[in-house]
Amino acid sequence: MNAKKKFDHSNDLVFLPLGGTGEIGMNCYCYGVGPADDRQWLMVDLGVKFGEETDPGIDVILPDVGFIASDKANLHGIVLTHAHEDHLGAVAWLWPQLQCPVYCTPFAAQILALKLKEAGLDEEVPVKVIPVGSKFTAGPFHLEYISVTHSIPEPTALLIKTKQGTVLHSGDWKIDRTPVLGQGMDEKRLRAIGDEGVDVLVCDSTNVLREGFSPSEAQVADTIAAIVAEAKGRVAVTTFASHVDRISTAVRAARATGREVVIAGRAMRNTIEAARACGMLKDSGRLLDEEEFGYLPPDKVMLLCTGSQGEPRAAIARIAEDQHPHVSLDPGDLVLFSSKTIPGNEKEVSRVLNNLARLDIDVITGEDALVHSSGHPRQDELKLLYDWVRPRALIPMHGEPRHLRAHAIFARKHGIEDVVIPRDGHITKLMPGPLRQIDEAHFGRLHVDGRLIVPSEDGPAKQRRKLSFVGIILVSVAVNSKQDLAADIEVVTDGLPHGLQDGLQEAAEKAFEGTPKPRRRDVNVLGETIRTSVRRHADQIWGKKPIVKVVVHEV
């Protein structure tokens, strides 16, 4: 082998996750072909993650795509596998950095259009609408959307063919042989691409810890229909706003028992409109607005609403607090949580459940009956996909570290020996095999703070978190040309216990008096002396060190 050949990386196919491996959320996976200094990129999915309590004021978290943005001339497209927020939600925020075509299915295009419009980008972003089952090309990437089953319309797996090798990127999927809507899992095509040869399967890990096979949407539909048929009073069903299959199921259960359907929640309305624009929910009839709820007899109405994750501003939370402007429930009415509580949302959900209990309203959740089924594959479904596709190697994705590790062990146990656990920012060579980490790329998180995108580390959320523990003290000092006080020192506090004020004022005055006049000339020195004294005093009395800001005015 000559030296040139040895270092020729033009045949490399690499995988770089910038989000989605190490967390469930903010999925962003990049595939690259060619040498490191001229790599051609394709991005698959660009989603958000929802903010946590630890970051006050941050509702949405984005992946940092700076690494790819700095090479955007070589980015041939963003391909979206489906319309869930964790796969599509960051496009409107980050597209201005990336400036490339966005490929998605008709339903995802409807959902994306709303977001682009809100961001004022609807005229700018070249959105290429590709029907499920179609082939298309982005630069050196030959692509195909393969129909799978999941918990939103038009979920796809993406077949990525390059001259360097073939990858099946599973997207989010489960095997549902009796789905309520959609084309279903294209087992035939998946087996065929297995025959053609797949080098690497990059695969959903969300439910790898669960044994067996997920229940079908049809089973869920039967359960919901039976529950609604038994209900005597009003029925409210809350589910994920994007779950069109479940919306369809609930509407059918209502129609079967002569109930009108009232929709509450903008997100659910938007989904229904998007679905109807794509030819879905055509037989669901007229869906009423929330204003009409109160005029209908209890046994003739079903409310379909948002808030299954306990979101405090969503319809079901406000109904549970009896604060909804148009909808109220009475003792004996029924609320059905056709959903799963996503880890992290337990407190909010239990607050809603407790509020409903206070109103003496019956509640059925996924723990009581089969009123929800996850959209992700359990172990027996993973095994089936491995059998159909027969990949040489596997990379687990869409999971927290424990899911990824368990998936790696599971895949090896089922005959796929070449498995690498990826990490956000790691560049893994897929082809030529075996899988091997060859490089690292900059990665991280960005916070959406109001209308702005800000850093997550050392960003405003960090300061706010500190404020939430200890409060703030502002000290205002006016000094005249003789280095004496021109007015009384003013101390203002926020978030501190009562009774500290006078002591703080004295501490500030003492610190001023104790500073010799020549040293008072340096406002920085004077300010710092006062700041440390005030902080020390608060600590002595309170046992906490608040944030102290001192402003020195020279008058």
Residues near Zn ion (CB under 5 A): 84, 86, 172
Q: How far apart are the first and last CA of the chain?
A: 79
Residue 86 or 176: which CB sits closer to Zn ion? 86
Residue 84 or 169: which CB sits closer to Zn ion? 84
Task: Look up tokens 């998946």; give the residue.
Answer: 190
Closest approach of Zn ion to the CB of residue 538, in Å? 46
Residue 82 or 535: which CB sits closer to Zn ion? 82
- 264: which residues sit within 8 A by CB, 6+ positions away? 290, 293, 303, 304, 305, 306, 315, 324, 326, 327
Closest approach of Zn ion to the CB of residue 154, in Å? 11
CA angle 312, 268, 44 (to 5 degrees): 100
CA dist 554 and 183 (Å) reads 74
Residue 89 or 265: which CB sits closer to Zn ion? 89
Main-chain phi, psi angles of 149, to 5 degrees: -115, 145
Residue 78 or 356: which CB sits closer to Zn ion? 78
Residue 172 or 449: which CB sits closer to Zn ion? 172
Closest approach of Zn ion to the CB of residue 29, in Å? 12
Closest approach of Zn ion to the CB of residue 264, in Å? 23
Closest approach of Zn ion to the CB of residue 403, in Å? 12
Concatenated DSSP letters of 134-193: -EEEETTEEEEEEE-B-SSSS-EEEEEEETTEEEEE--S-B--SS-SSSS---HHHHHHH
- Residue 456 DSSP class: S
**Which among 25, 97, 32 is positioned nearest to 60, based on CA atoms?**
25
**Which among 77, 60, 59 is positioned nearest to 68, based on CA atoms?**
77
Closest approach of Zn ion to the CB of residue 202, in Å? 13
Closest approach of Zn ion to the CB of residue 86, in Å? 4
- Write out the two tokens for 384: 């089936």
Closest approach of Zn ion to the CB of residue 386, in Å? 20
Closest approach of Zn ion to the CB of residue 398, in Å? 6
Q: Decide if 340 contacts 369 (C-beta within 8 A).
A: no
Closest approach of Zn ion to the CB of residue 315, in Å? 23
Whole-number Cα distances in Å, 70 to 93, 173, 211, 428: 16, 32, 43, 20
CA angle 441, 51, 46 (to 5 degrees): 45
Concatenated DSSP letters of 92-104: HHHHHHH---EEE
CA dist 217 and 248 (Å) reads 11
User: What is the length of the chain?
Assistant: 555
Closest approach of Zn ion to the CB of residue 156, in Å? 11
Residue 170 or 355: which CB sits closer to Zn ion? 170
- Write out the two tokens for 70: 């700095």
Residue 48 or 550: which CB sits closer to Zn ion? 48
Residue 85 or 199: which CB sits closer to Zn ion? 85
Residue 169 or 537: which CB sits closer to Zn ion? 169
Residue 40 or 170: which CB sits closer to Zn ion? 170
Query: Going by DSSP bridges, is the β-strand pair 472-479/490-494 parallel, antiparallel, or unpaired?
Result: antiparallel
Query: What sign does the dihedral 133-169-160-195 (CA atoms) show?
Result: negative
Q: Decide if 214 contacts 384 (C-beta within 8 A).
A: no
